[in-house]
Amino acid sequence: MTTEPADPVQRAFLGVERSVLGNRWVSRLDQAGQNRALAMTQQHGLPDLISRVLAGRGVAADDAIAFLDPTIRNLMPEPYLLTDCEKAVLRLARAIGRREKVVIFGDYDVDGAASSALLHRFLSHFGVDASIYIPDRIFEGYGPNPAAINQLIDGGAQLIVTVDCGSTSHESLAAAAERNVDVVVIDHHQVGHELPPCHALVNPNREDDLSGQGHLCAAGVVFIVLVAALRKLRQDGDRRAANLDLLAWLDIVALATVCDVVPLRGLNRAYVVKGLIAARHFGNAGLAALFRKAGLGGPVAPYHLGFLIGPRINAGGRIGDAALGSRLLTLDDQAEAETIAEQLDSLNRDRQAMEAAMLEEAEAEALAEYGDGEGASVIVTAREKWHPGIVGLIAARLKERFRRPAFAIAFDASGKGTGSGRSINGFDLGRMVRAAVDEGLLLKGGGHAMAAGLTVERANLGRLRAFFTERAEKAVQSLVANETLKIDGALGASGATVELFDQMETAGPYGSGHAQPLFAIPAHRLRDSRPVGQSHIKITLEAMDGTRLDGIAFRAAQTPLGDLLLNGRGSQLHVAGSLSADHWQGTRRIQLRVTDAAVAR
Protein backbone atom coordinates (compact mmCIF):
# COMPACT_ATOMS: atom_id res chain seq x y z
CA MET A 1 0.00 0.00 0.00
CA THR A 2 1.21 3.51 -0.78
CA THR A 3 0.13 6.77 0.75
CA GLU A 4 1.09 9.11 -2.05
CA PRO A 5 -1.76 11.47 -2.98
CA ALA A 6 -3.61 10.20 -6.01
CA ASP A 7 -3.11 12.08 -9.25
CA PRO A 8 -6.46 13.86 -9.79
CA VAL A 9 -6.06 13.43 -13.56
CA GLN A 10 -5.48 9.68 -13.34
CA ARG A 11 -8.68 7.64 -13.56
CA ALA A 12 -9.40 5.14 -10.83
CA PHE A 13 -8.52 1.59 -11.89
CA LEU A 14 -11.76 -0.33 -12.61
CA GLY A 15 -13.53 2.73 -11.25
CA VAL A 16 -12.61 1.86 -7.64
CA GLU A 17 -12.59 5.25 -5.94
CA ARG A 18 -12.73 3.74 -2.46
CA SER A 19 -12.21 0.06 -1.75
CA VAL A 20 -13.37 -1.80 1.33
CA LEU A 21 -10.05 -0.79 2.94
CA GLY A 22 -10.43 2.83 1.91
CA ASN A 23 -7.97 2.78 -0.99
CA ARG A 24 -8.33 4.44 -4.35
CA TRP A 25 -7.07 2.02 -7.00
CA VAL A 26 -4.79 3.51 -9.64
CA SER A 27 -2.57 2.14 -12.37
CA ARG A 28 1.05 1.87 -11.33
CA LEU A 29 2.10 3.11 -14.78
CA ASP A 30 1.44 6.69 -15.75
CA GLN A 31 2.09 7.81 -19.32
CA ALA A 32 5.83 8.23 -18.71
CA GLY A 33 5.95 4.72 -17.26
CA GLN A 34 4.15 3.29 -20.24
CA ASN A 35 6.70 4.97 -22.51
CA ARG A 36 9.56 3.42 -20.49
CA ALA A 37 7.95 0.00 -20.73
CA LEU A 38 7.56 0.33 -24.50
CA ALA A 39 11.20 1.41 -24.83
CA MET A 40 12.37 -1.65 -22.87
CA THR A 41 10.39 -3.99 -25.10
CA GLN A 42 11.67 -2.34 -28.24
CA GLN A 43 15.31 -2.05 -27.13
CA HIS A 44 15.76 -5.42 -25.45
CA GLY A 45 12.95 -7.60 -26.75
CA LEU A 46 11.59 -8.12 -23.24
CA PRO A 47 8.06 -9.47 -22.80
CA ASP A 48 5.53 -6.70 -22.32
CA LEU A 49 4.66 -7.81 -18.78
CA ILE A 50 8.29 -7.74 -17.63
CA SER A 51 8.79 -4.32 -19.17
CA ARG A 52 5.69 -3.04 -17.39
CA VAL A 53 6.80 -4.48 -14.06
CA LEU A 54 10.27 -2.92 -14.33
CA ALA A 55 9.03 0.43 -15.59
CA GLY A 56 6.50 0.59 -12.78
CA ARG A 57 9.32 0.27 -10.27
CA GLY A 58 11.47 3.04 -11.67
CA VAL A 59 13.95 0.95 -13.69
CA ALA A 60 15.31 2.89 -16.67
CA ALA A 61 15.22 1.25 -20.10
CA ASP A 62 19.02 1.29 -20.40
CA ASP A 63 19.38 -0.48 -17.02
CA ALA A 64 16.82 -3.24 -17.60
CA ILE A 65 19.14 -6.08 -18.64
CA ALA A 66 21.61 -5.44 -15.82
CA PHE A 67 18.71 -5.22 -13.39
CA LEU A 68 17.40 -8.62 -14.45
CA ASP A 69 20.80 -10.23 -13.91
CA PRO A 70 22.43 -8.61 -10.85
CA THR A 71 25.89 -9.93 -10.03
CA ILE A 72 28.12 -9.52 -7.02
CA ARG A 73 31.06 -8.75 -9.29
CA ASN A 74 29.34 -5.84 -11.01
CA LEU A 75 27.60 -4.35 -7.99
CA MET A 76 30.19 -4.86 -5.24
CA PRO A 77 31.86 -1.50 -4.52
CA GLU A 78 35.57 -1.13 -3.86
CA PRO A 79 35.44 -1.98 -0.13
CA TYR A 80 37.84 0.75 0.91
CA LEU A 81 35.36 3.35 -0.36
CA LEU A 82 33.56 2.66 2.92
CA THR A 83 35.04 4.96 5.53
CA ASP A 84 37.27 3.09 8.01
CA CYS A 85 36.95 -0.20 6.12
CA GLU A 86 40.70 -0.40 5.58
CA LYS A 87 41.35 0.28 9.28
CA ALA A 88 38.90 -2.48 10.21
CA VAL A 89 40.49 -4.93 7.76
CA LEU A 90 44.01 -4.25 9.01
CA ARG A 91 42.87 -4.74 12.61
CA LEU A 92 41.13 -8.03 11.78
CA ALA A 93 44.22 -9.21 9.89
CA ARG A 94 46.35 -8.38 12.92
CA ALA A 95 44.02 -10.34 15.19
CA ILE A 96 44.27 -13.31 12.84
CA GLY A 97 48.05 -13.06 12.61
CA ARG A 98 48.45 -12.86 16.39
CA ARG A 99 45.67 -15.40 17.09
CA GLU A 100 43.99 -12.96 19.45
CA LYS A 101 40.82 -13.71 21.34
CA VAL A 102 38.00 -11.90 19.54
CA VAL A 103 34.47 -11.36 20.82
CA ILE A 104 31.69 -10.52 18.35
CA PHE A 105 29.00 -8.39 19.98
CA GLY A 106 25.79 -8.69 17.97
CA ASP A 107 22.18 -7.61 18.03
CA TYR A 108 19.37 -10.02 18.90
CA ASP A 109 17.46 -9.88 15.61
CA VAL A 110 18.01 -11.79 12.35
CA ASP A 111 20.42 -9.19 10.94
CA GLY A 112 22.47 -9.28 14.13
CA ALA A 113 22.50 -13.08 14.19
CA ALA A 114 23.49 -13.30 10.53
CA SER A 115 26.20 -10.65 10.88
CA SER A 116 27.64 -12.39 13.93
CA ALA A 117 27.60 -15.77 12.20
CA LEU A 118 29.36 -14.44 9.08
CA LEU A 119 32.20 -12.92 11.08
CA HIS A 120 32.47 -15.96 13.35
CA ARG A 121 32.72 -18.32 10.37
CA PHE A 122 35.42 -16.15 8.82
CA LEU A 123 37.56 -15.86 11.94
CA SER A 124 37.16 -19.54 12.81
CA HIS A 125 38.37 -20.50 9.33
CA PHE A 126 41.63 -18.74 10.14
CA GLY A 127 42.01 -20.41 13.53
CA VAL A 128 40.95 -17.45 15.67
CA ASP A 129 39.43 -18.02 19.10
CA ALA A 130 36.19 -16.17 18.37
CA SER A 131 32.99 -16.11 20.40
CA ILE A 132 29.64 -14.38 20.00
CA TYR A 133 27.91 -12.31 22.67
CA ILE A 134 24.25 -11.36 22.16
CA PRO A 135 22.73 -9.13 24.88
CA ASP A 136 19.48 -10.07 26.58
CA ARG A 137 16.70 -8.03 25.00
CA ILE A 138 14.85 -7.52 28.29
CA PHE A 139 17.63 -7.00 30.81
CA GLU A 140 20.33 -5.37 28.68
CA GLY A 141 18.47 -3.76 25.81
CA TYR A 142 19.89 -2.94 22.39
CA GLY A 143 23.61 -2.64 21.76
CA PRO A 144 26.72 -2.70 23.94
CA ASN A 145 26.48 -1.75 27.60
CA PRO A 146 29.44 -0.95 29.89
CA ALA A 147 28.83 -3.93 32.20
CA ALA A 148 28.90 -6.40 29.30
CA ILE A 149 31.99 -4.77 27.76
CA ASN A 150 33.90 -5.02 31.03
CA GLN A 151 32.74 -8.59 31.49
CA LEU A 152 34.06 -9.54 28.05
CA ILE A 153 37.39 -7.88 28.71
CA ASP A 154 37.65 -9.61 32.09
CA GLY A 155 37.13 -12.85 30.16
CA GLY A 156 40.17 -12.18 27.98
CA ALA A 157 38.78 -10.34 24.95
CA GLN A 158 41.62 -8.66 23.03
CA LEU A 159 39.43 -7.31 20.24
CA ILE A 160 35.69 -6.62 20.28
CA VAL A 161 33.78 -6.32 17.02
CA THR A 162 30.22 -5.01 17.26
CA VAL A 163 27.89 -5.91 14.39
CA ASP A 164 24.47 -4.37 13.71
CA CYS A 165 24.99 -2.13 16.75
CA GLY A 166 27.57 0.13 18.37
CA SER A 167 27.34 3.29 16.27
CA THR A 168 25.83 5.30 19.12
CA SER A 169 27.29 3.37 22.09
CA HIS A 170 29.58 6.14 23.31
CA GLU A 171 29.69 5.20 27.00
CA SER A 172 30.18 1.50 26.36
CA LEU A 173 32.97 1.92 23.82
CA ALA A 174 34.65 4.45 26.10
CA ALA A 175 34.76 1.71 28.74
CA ALA A 176 36.71 -0.49 26.31
CA ALA A 177 39.05 2.37 25.39
CA GLU A 178 39.81 2.98 29.06
CA ARG A 179 41.03 -0.61 29.28
CA ASN A 180 43.04 -0.38 26.04
CA VAL A 181 40.94 -2.89 24.13
CA ASP A 182 40.19 -2.05 20.51
CA VAL A 183 36.63 -2.04 19.24
CA VAL A 184 35.69 -2.30 15.58
CA VAL A 185 32.10 -1.31 14.78
CA ILE A 186 30.37 -2.69 11.66
CA ASP A 187 26.87 -1.29 11.46
CA HIS A 188 24.24 0.35 9.25
CA HIS A 189 22.10 2.39 11.65
CA GLN A 190 21.90 6.17 11.57
CA VAL A 191 24.72 7.93 13.39
CA GLY A 192 25.06 11.60 14.34
CA HIS A 193 27.91 14.09 14.16
CA GLU A 194 29.66 12.73 17.24
CA LEU A 195 31.21 9.31 16.66
CA PRO A 196 31.88 6.82 19.44
CA PRO A 197 35.47 6.19 20.58
CA CYS A 198 36.50 3.10 18.62
CA HIS A 199 39.35 1.83 16.46
CA ALA A 200 37.17 1.77 13.32
CA LEU A 201 33.54 2.52 12.51
CA VAL A 202 32.41 0.96 9.24
CA ASN A 203 28.92 2.28 8.64
CA PRO A 204 27.78 3.51 5.21
CA ASN A 205 25.26 5.77 6.98
CA ARG A 206 27.88 7.82 8.82
CA GLU A 207 27.92 11.36 7.52
CA ASP A 208 31.44 11.21 6.08
CA ASP A 209 30.87 7.98 4.14
CA LEU A 210 30.53 8.56 0.40
CA SER A 211 30.24 4.91 -0.71
CA GLY A 212 26.54 5.16 -1.54
CA GLN A 213 25.82 1.86 0.26
CA GLY A 214 23.54 3.20 2.98
CA HIS A 215 20.75 0.86 1.87
CA LEU A 216 22.61 -2.25 3.06
CA CYS A 217 21.73 -4.18 6.20
CA ALA A 218 24.50 -4.92 8.67
CA ALA A 219 25.21 -8.37 7.23
CA GLY A 220 25.65 -6.77 3.81
CA VAL A 221 28.25 -4.40 5.27
CA VAL A 222 29.99 -7.26 7.10
CA PHE A 223 30.24 -9.16 3.82
CA ILE A 224 32.01 -6.22 2.15
CA VAL A 225 34.48 -6.06 5.05
CA LEU A 226 35.12 -9.80 4.72
CA VAL A 227 35.70 -9.48 0.97
CA ALA A 228 38.38 -6.88 1.68
CA ALA A 229 39.85 -8.91 4.56
CA LEU A 230 40.10 -12.03 2.41
CA ARG A 231 41.85 -10.05 -0.32
CA LYS A 232 44.31 -8.65 2.24
CA LEU A 233 45.09 -12.10 3.67
CA ARG A 234 45.63 -13.53 0.18
CA GLN A 235 48.01 -10.68 -0.60
CA ASP A 236 49.86 -11.47 2.62
CA GLY A 237 50.29 -15.08 1.50
CA ASP A 238 48.05 -16.75 4.07
CA ARG A 239 47.44 -20.17 2.50
CA ARG A 240 44.17 -20.62 4.37
CA ALA A 241 42.71 -17.77 2.32
CA ALA A 242 43.03 -19.68 -0.94
CA ASN A 243 40.28 -22.22 -0.24
CA LEU A 244 37.70 -19.91 1.33
CA ASP A 245 34.63 -19.23 -0.84
CA LEU A 246 32.70 -16.33 0.62
CA LEU A 247 29.97 -16.70 -2.00
CA ALA A 248 28.88 -19.91 -0.28
CA TRP A 249 27.76 -17.75 2.68
CA LEU A 250 25.47 -15.53 0.65
CA ASP A 251 22.49 -17.51 1.94
CA ILE A 252 23.14 -15.90 5.34
CA VAL A 253 23.43 -12.44 3.76
CA ALA A 254 20.22 -12.95 1.79
CA LEU A 255 18.39 -14.02 4.95
CA ALA A 256 19.41 -10.81 6.74
CA THR A 257 18.68 -8.62 3.71
CA VAL A 258 15.13 -9.95 3.37
CA CYS A 259 14.33 -10.00 7.09
CA ASP A 260 15.71 -6.51 7.76
CA VAL A 261 13.40 -5.22 4.99
CA VAL A 262 16.07 -3.10 3.31
CA PRO A 263 15.44 -1.93 -0.27
CA LEU A 264 16.04 -4.60 -2.91
CA ARG A 265 18.16 -2.42 -5.17
CA GLY A 266 21.81 -2.32 -6.10
CA LEU A 267 24.01 -4.75 -4.23
CA ASN A 268 21.07 -5.91 -2.10
CA ARG A 269 19.44 -7.43 -5.20
CA ALA A 270 22.60 -9.36 -6.00
CA TYR A 271 22.85 -10.54 -2.40
CA VAL A 272 19.32 -11.95 -2.51
CA VAL A 273 19.42 -13.38 -6.04
CA LYS A 274 22.72 -15.19 -5.47
CA GLY A 275 21.89 -15.96 -1.84
CA LEU A 276 18.73 -17.78 -2.85
CA ILE A 277 20.81 -19.97 -5.16
CA ALA A 278 23.12 -20.80 -2.25
CA ALA A 279 20.16 -21.46 0.07
CA ARG A 280 18.66 -23.95 -2.38
CA HIS A 281 21.80 -26.08 -2.02
CA PHE A 282 21.14 -26.36 1.76
CA GLY A 283 24.84 -26.01 2.51
CA ASN A 284 24.26 -24.24 5.82
CA ALA A 285 23.34 -26.92 8.35
CA GLY A 286 21.42 -24.51 10.57
CA LEU A 287 19.32 -23.03 7.79
CA ALA A 288 18.63 -26.49 6.38
CA ALA A 289 17.43 -27.69 9.79
CA LEU A 290 15.10 -24.70 10.13
CA PHE A 291 13.72 -25.25 6.63
CA ARG A 292 12.87 -28.83 7.58
CA LYS A 293 11.20 -27.70 10.82
CA ALA A 294 9.18 -25.07 8.96
CA GLY A 295 7.97 -27.61 6.37
CA LEU A 296 9.47 -25.88 3.36
CA GLY A 297 7.58 -26.66 0.16
CA GLY A 298 9.24 -25.87 -3.16
CA PRO A 299 12.42 -23.92 -3.93
CA VAL A 300 13.61 -21.38 -1.33
CA ALA A 301 12.11 -17.95 -2.04
CA PRO A 302 12.21 -14.59 -0.23
CA TYR A 303 8.84 -15.45 1.32
CA HIS A 304 10.34 -18.47 3.08
CA LEU A 305 13.24 -16.41 4.45
CA GLY A 306 10.99 -13.61 5.66
CA PHE A 307 8.01 -15.55 6.99
CA LEU A 308 9.30 -19.03 7.89
CA ILE A 309 12.94 -18.66 8.89
CA GLY A 310 13.10 -15.07 10.17
CA PRO A 311 10.37 -15.41 12.83
CA ARG A 312 11.94 -18.59 14.19
CA ILE A 313 15.37 -16.97 14.56
CA ASN A 314 13.78 -13.85 16.05
CA ALA A 315 11.85 -15.95 18.56
CA GLY A 316 15.09 -16.63 20.43
CA GLY A 317 15.77 -12.92 20.81
CA ARG A 318 12.17 -12.08 21.68
CA ILE A 319 11.30 -14.61 24.38
CA GLY A 320 14.17 -17.07 24.79
CA ASP A 321 17.94 -17.33 24.45
CA ALA A 322 19.03 -14.49 22.15
CA ALA A 323 22.19 -16.33 21.13
CA LEU A 324 20.40 -19.34 19.62
CA GLY A 325 19.97 -17.80 16.16
CA SER A 326 23.57 -16.75 15.68
CA ARG A 327 24.76 -20.08 17.08
CA LEU A 328 22.56 -21.99 14.65
CA LEU A 329 23.94 -20.12 11.62
CA THR A 330 27.54 -20.95 12.57
CA LEU A 331 27.00 -24.71 12.76
CA ASP A 332 28.27 -27.43 10.45
CA ASP A 333 27.16 -30.24 12.76
CA GLN A 334 23.77 -31.47 11.57
CA ALA A 335 22.73 -33.10 14.85
CA GLU A 336 23.40 -29.95 16.88
CA ALA A 337 21.66 -27.87 14.23
CA GLU A 338 18.56 -30.04 14.51
CA THR A 339 18.54 -29.59 18.30
CA ILE A 340 18.72 -25.79 18.12
CA ALA A 341 16.22 -25.65 15.25
CA GLU A 342 13.78 -27.60 17.42
CA GLN A 343 14.32 -25.12 20.28
CA LEU A 344 13.70 -22.15 18.00
CA ASP A 345 10.64 -23.78 16.47
CA SER A 346 9.24 -24.41 19.94
CA LEU A 347 9.97 -20.84 21.01
CA ASN A 348 8.26 -19.58 17.88
CA ARG A 349 5.12 -21.54 18.73
CA ASP A 350 5.22 -20.04 22.22
CA ARG A 351 5.71 -16.59 20.69
CA GLN A 352 2.72 -17.10 18.39
CA ALA A 353 0.51 -18.06 21.32
CA MET A 354 1.67 -15.08 23.36
CA GLU A 355 1.23 -12.77 20.39
CA ALA A 356 -2.33 -14.00 19.76
CA ALA A 357 -3.33 -13.41 23.41
CA MET A 358 -1.68 -9.98 23.52
CA LEU A 359 -3.18 -8.96 20.18
CA GLU A 360 -6.68 -9.85 21.36
CA GLU A 361 -6.21 -7.60 24.39
CA ALA A 362 -4.63 -4.81 22.34
CA GLU A 363 -7.40 -4.83 19.72
CA ALA A 364 -10.07 -4.79 22.43
CA GLU A 365 -8.38 -1.80 24.07
CA ALA A 366 -7.98 0.00 20.75
CA LEU A 367 -11.65 -0.55 19.85
CA ALA A 368 -12.76 0.69 23.27
CA GLU A 369 -10.46 3.72 23.12
CA TYR A 370 -10.71 4.65 19.44
CA GLY A 371 -13.75 2.82 18.04
CA ASP A 372 -13.09 1.76 14.45
CA GLY A 373 -10.01 3.96 14.39
CA GLU A 374 -11.44 6.44 11.87
CA GLY A 375 -11.06 9.35 14.29
CA ALA A 376 -7.68 8.37 15.68
CA SER A 377 -4.38 9.70 14.41
CA VAL A 378 -2.15 7.35 16.46
CA ILE A 379 -3.20 4.12 18.21
CA VAL A 380 -1.54 3.65 21.63
CA THR A 381 -2.26 0.48 23.62
CA ALA A 382 -0.65 -0.50 26.91
CA ARG A 383 -0.93 -3.29 29.43
CA GLU A 384 0.93 -4.78 32.37
CA LYS A 385 2.25 -8.34 31.99
CA TRP A 386 2.66 -8.03 28.24
CA HIS A 387 5.97 -9.43 27.05
CA PRO A 388 8.21 -6.51 25.97
CA GLY A 389 9.83 -8.70 23.32
CA ILE A 390 6.54 -8.98 21.41
CA VAL A 391 5.19 -5.41 21.52
CA GLY A 392 6.72 -4.61 18.13
CA LEU A 393 4.70 -7.39 16.53
CA ILE A 394 1.53 -6.14 18.22
CA ALA A 395 2.17 -2.60 16.99
CA ALA A 396 2.58 -3.92 13.44
CA ARG A 397 -0.71 -5.82 13.61
CA LEU A 398 -2.55 -2.78 14.98
CA LYS A 399 -1.10 -0.62 12.23
CA GLU A 400 -2.32 -3.12 9.63
CA ARG A 401 -5.83 -3.33 11.06
CA PHE A 402 -6.47 0.35 11.78
CA ARG A 403 -4.24 1.81 9.05
CA ARG A 404 -2.78 4.30 11.51
CA PRO A 405 0.60 4.59 13.26
CA ALA A 406 0.35 2.34 16.30
CA PHE A 407 2.20 1.65 19.55
CA ALA A 408 2.07 -1.22 22.02
CA ILE A 409 3.60 -0.69 25.46
CA ALA A 410 4.41 -3.32 28.09
CA PHE A 411 4.50 -1.97 31.66
CA ASP A 412 6.40 -3.72 34.44
CA ALA A 413 5.49 -3.79 38.12
CA SER A 414 7.39 -0.55 38.77
CA GLY A 415 5.33 1.37 36.24
CA LYS A 416 8.00 1.63 33.57
CA GLY A 417 6.79 0.83 30.07
CA THR A 418 8.77 -0.54 27.15
CA GLY A 419 7.03 0.20 23.88
CA SER A 420 7.39 -0.20 20.15
CA GLY A 421 5.67 1.59 17.29
CA ARG A 422 5.06 1.03 13.58
CA SER A 423 4.09 3.69 11.07
CA ILE A 424 2.24 4.09 7.80
CA ASN A 425 4.07 5.24 4.69
CA GLY A 426 4.66 8.97 4.68
CA PHE A 427 4.64 9.58 8.45
CA ASP A 428 8.00 9.81 10.28
CA LEU A 429 7.41 7.96 13.54
CA GLY A 430 11.00 8.27 14.77
CA ARG A 431 10.89 12.05 14.54
CA MET A 432 7.68 12.18 16.61
CA VAL A 433 9.18 9.92 19.28
CA ARG A 434 12.33 12.05 19.49
CA ALA A 435 10.11 15.12 19.89
CA ALA A 436 8.36 13.39 22.81
CA VAL A 437 11.77 12.81 24.40
CA ASP A 438 12.57 16.51 24.01
CA GLU A 439 9.23 17.34 25.70
CA GLY A 440 10.19 15.21 28.69
CA LEU A 441 7.36 12.74 28.11
CA LEU A 442 9.67 9.75 27.58
CA LEU A 443 12.63 8.40 29.50
CA LYS A 444 14.19 7.52 26.16
CA GLY A 445 13.13 6.83 22.62
CA GLY A 446 14.19 6.85 19.01
CA GLY A 447 13.94 5.05 15.71
CA HIS A 448 13.37 5.77 12.06
CA ALA A 449 10.46 6.74 9.85
CA MET A 450 8.66 3.39 9.91
CA ALA A 451 9.51 2.03 13.38
CA ALA A 452 10.43 3.38 16.78
CA GLY A 453 10.97 2.31 20.36
CA LEU A 454 10.34 4.13 23.62
CA THR A 455 10.48 3.92 27.39
CA VAL A 456 7.79 5.75 29.36
CA GLU A 457 6.56 6.11 32.93
CA ARG A 458 2.93 5.10 33.43
CA ALA A 459 2.17 8.52 34.92
CA ASN A 460 2.99 10.11 31.55
CA LEU A 461 0.91 7.75 29.38
CA GLY A 462 -2.11 10.06 29.11
CA ARG A 463 0.03 13.08 28.23
CA LEU A 464 1.94 10.99 25.70
CA ARG A 465 -1.29 9.92 23.97
CA ALA A 466 -2.43 13.53 23.77
CA PHE A 467 0.95 14.66 22.43
CA PHE A 468 0.96 11.98 19.72
CA THR A 469 -2.61 12.83 18.72
CA GLU A 470 -1.92 16.54 18.41
CA ARG A 471 1.39 16.01 16.64
CA ALA A 472 0.12 13.52 14.07
CA GLU A 473 -3.53 14.43 13.49
CA LYS A 474 -3.34 16.58 10.35
CA ALA A 475 -0.62 14.56 8.63
CA VAL A 476 -2.17 11.15 9.30
CA GLN A 477 -5.67 12.25 8.29
CA SER A 478 -4.31 13.57 5.00
CA LEU A 479 -2.30 10.41 4.34
CA VAL A 480 -5.21 8.10 5.10
CA ALA A 481 -7.63 10.15 3.00
CA ASN A 482 -5.30 9.87 0.01
CA GLU A 483 -4.27 6.25 0.31
CA THR A 484 -3.87 4.57 -3.05
CA LEU A 485 -3.27 1.01 -4.15
CA LYS A 486 -1.11 0.78 -7.25
CA ILE A 487 -2.24 -1.92 -9.68
CA ASP A 488 0.08 -3.43 -12.28
CA GLY A 489 -2.74 -4.72 -14.47
CA ALA A 490 -6.04 -6.57 -14.74
CA LEU A 491 -6.07 -10.35 -14.85
CA GLY A 492 -8.83 -12.91 -15.29
CA ALA A 493 -8.88 -16.27 -13.52
CA SER A 494 -7.94 -18.05 -16.75
CA GLY A 495 -4.87 -15.84 -17.13
CA ALA A 496 -3.48 -16.61 -13.67
CA THR A 497 -1.21 -19.42 -14.81
CA VAL A 498 2.04 -20.98 -13.67
CA GLU A 499 3.60 -19.74 -16.91
CA LEU A 500 2.63 -16.15 -16.09
CA PHE A 501 3.99 -16.52 -12.56
CA ASP A 502 7.32 -17.88 -13.84
CA GLN A 503 7.57 -14.99 -16.28
CA MET A 504 7.03 -12.49 -13.46
CA GLU A 505 9.66 -14.16 -11.33
CA THR A 506 12.34 -13.26 -13.88
CA ALA A 507 11.92 -9.65 -12.74
CA GLY A 508 12.18 -10.63 -9.04
CA PRO A 509 12.97 -11.14 -6.30
CA TYR A 510 10.39 -8.78 -4.88
CA GLY A 511 10.34 -7.07 -1.54
CA SER A 512 11.08 -3.69 0.00
CA GLY A 513 11.74 -1.11 -2.71
CA HIS A 514 10.76 -3.58 -5.45
CA ALA A 515 7.11 -4.33 -4.83
CA GLN A 516 5.46 -7.61 -5.73
CA PRO A 517 3.30 -7.13 -8.84
CA LEU A 518 -0.28 -6.47 -7.84
CA PHE A 519 -3.14 -7.51 -10.11
CA ALA A 520 -6.83 -6.69 -10.09
CA ILE A 521 -9.21 -9.59 -10.76
CA PRO A 522 -12.20 -7.73 -12.23
CA ALA A 523 -15.86 -8.55 -11.60
CA HIS A 524 -15.47 -12.19 -10.58
CA ARG A 525 -18.12 -13.99 -8.55
CA LEU A 526 -17.15 -14.85 -5.00
CA ARG A 527 -18.09 -18.51 -5.19
CA ASP A 528 -16.85 -19.52 -1.76
CA SER A 529 -15.18 -18.11 1.35
CA ARG A 530 -14.31 -19.62 4.69
CA PRO A 531 -12.06 -18.90 7.67
CA VAL A 532 -8.87 -20.94 7.99
CA GLY A 533 -6.21 -20.96 10.68
CA GLN A 534 -6.50 -18.34 13.38
CA SER A 535 -7.40 -15.31 11.28
CA HIS A 536 -7.05 -16.08 7.55
CA ILE A 537 -9.80 -16.38 4.94
CA LYS A 538 -9.74 -18.71 1.93
CA ILE A 539 -11.77 -17.73 -1.11
CA THR A 540 -12.64 -19.04 -4.56
CA LEU A 541 -13.33 -16.60 -7.40
CA GLU A 542 -15.19 -17.64 -10.55
CA ALA A 543 -15.08 -15.93 -13.94
CA MET A 544 -17.98 -15.71 -16.40
CA ASP A 545 -16.57 -18.70 -18.30
CA GLY A 546 -16.51 -20.83 -15.14
CA THR A 547 -12.75 -20.66 -14.62
CA ARG A 548 -11.85 -20.50 -10.93
CA LEU A 549 -9.02 -18.97 -8.94
CA ASP A 550 -8.32 -19.75 -5.29
CA GLY A 551 -7.09 -17.03 -2.97
CA ILE A 552 -6.24 -16.33 0.64
CA ALA A 553 -6.49 -13.14 2.66
CA PHE A 554 -3.98 -13.36 5.49
CA ARG A 555 -4.98 -11.97 8.90
CA ALA A 556 -8.23 -10.62 7.41
CA ALA A 557 -10.66 -11.96 10.01
CA GLN A 558 -12.55 -9.21 11.86
CA THR A 559 -11.46 -6.56 9.36
CA PRO A 560 -13.59 -4.79 6.73
CA LEU A 561 -11.92 -6.94 4.06
CA GLY A 562 -12.68 -10.11 5.96
CA ASP A 563 -16.27 -9.08 6.57
CA LEU A 564 -16.81 -8.44 2.86
CA LEU A 565 -15.30 -11.79 1.87
CA LEU A 566 -17.19 -13.84 4.46
CA ASN A 567 -20.53 -12.13 3.91
CA GLY A 568 -20.32 -11.55 0.19
CA ARG A 569 -20.66 -15.07 -1.22
CA GLY A 570 -22.33 -14.97 -4.62
CA SER A 571 -21.60 -11.28 -5.22
CA GLN A 572 -19.47 -9.78 -7.98
CA LEU A 573 -16.19 -8.37 -6.62
CA HIS A 574 -13.09 -6.67 -7.89
CA VAL A 575 -10.25 -8.32 -5.94
CA ALA A 576 -6.65 -7.09 -5.81
CA GLY A 577 -3.71 -9.28 -4.87
CA SER A 578 -0.42 -10.86 -5.85
CA LEU A 579 0.13 -14.28 -7.34
CA SER A 580 1.95 -17.08 -5.56
CA ALA A 581 2.77 -20.62 -6.66
CA ASP A 582 1.97 -23.29 -4.09
CA HIS A 583 3.59 -26.72 -4.27
CA TRP A 584 1.17 -29.50 -3.40
CA GLN A 585 1.89 -33.22 -3.88
CA GLY A 586 4.44 -32.56 -6.59
CA THR A 587 2.37 -30.08 -8.59
CA ARG A 588 2.34 -26.30 -8.68
CA ARG A 589 -0.84 -24.30 -8.55
CA ILE A 590 -1.48 -20.57 -8.57
CA GLN A 591 -3.09 -18.82 -5.63
CA LEU A 592 -4.02 -15.17 -5.15
CA ARG A 593 -2.78 -13.47 -1.99
CA VAL A 594 -5.60 -11.02 -1.45
CA THR A 595 -4.70 -7.44 -0.59
CA ASP A 596 -7.94 -5.52 -1.10
CA ALA A 597 -11.43 -5.78 -2.63
CA ALA A 598 -14.36 -3.71 -3.80
CA VAL A 599 -17.91 -4.46 -4.85
CA ALA A 600 -18.16 -4.47 -8.66
CA ARG A 601 -20.72 -1.92 -9.83
Alpha helix positions (H), 85-139: 85-98, 110-125
Claim to verify: residue 168 and residue 228 sit in the same structural domain = yes
**Using an 8 Å Cβ cutoff, are 6 and 24 in contact?**
yes
Identify whether 364 is part of a domain.
no
Please give the Cα distance from 396 to 408 (Å, whole number): 9
Per-residue confidence (pLDDT) for residue 447, from 0 to 100: 77
Identify whether 301 is part of a domain.
yes
Identify whether 147 is part of a domain.
yes
**Using an 8 Å Cβ cutoff, are 368 and 342 in contact?**
no
Asked if the bond preceding 146 is cis, omega within 30° of 0, the reply is no
Structural domain boundaries enclosing 223:
78-345
* CATH code of the domain covering residue 381: 3.10.310.30
Claim to verify: residue 115 and residue 20 sit in the same structural domain = no
**Using an 8 Å Cβ cutoff, are 488 and 56 in contact?**
yes
Q: How confident is the model at residue 201 (pLDDT cuts 50, 70, 90)?
A: very high
Q: What is the pLDDT of residues 63-119, one digit of tens each?
A: 999 999 999 999 999 999 999 999 999 999 999 999 999 999 999 899 999 999 999
Number of domains in the chain: 3
Mean pLDDT of the chain: 93
| CA distance readout (Å), 100 to 55, 214, 458 | 51, 31, 47
* CATH code of the domain covering residue 579: 2.40.50.460
Per-residue confidence (pLDDT) for residue 141, from 0 to 100: 77
DSSP conformation class of 238: -
Listed residue (38, 36, 16) closest to 27, CA to CA: 16
Claim to verify: residue 469 and residue 508 sit in the same structural domain = no
Identify whether 41 is part of a domain.
no
Q: What is the pLDDT of residues 9-34, one digit of tens each?
A: 589 999 999 999 999 999 999 999 99
Claim to verify: residue 200 and residue 301 sit in the same structural domain = yes
pTM for the whole structure:
0.91
Of 449, 481, 513, at which residue does a domain stop? 481
* Helix, strand, coil distribution of the chain in percent, nearest 5: 45, 20, 35
Claim to verify: residue 530 and residue 464 sit in the same structural domain = no
| CA distance readout (Å), 198 to 94, 121, 413 | 16, 23, 37
Identify whether 258 is part of a domain.
yes
Of 453, 481, 509, at which residue does a domain stop? 481
Of 345, 363, 380, at which residue does a domain stop? 345
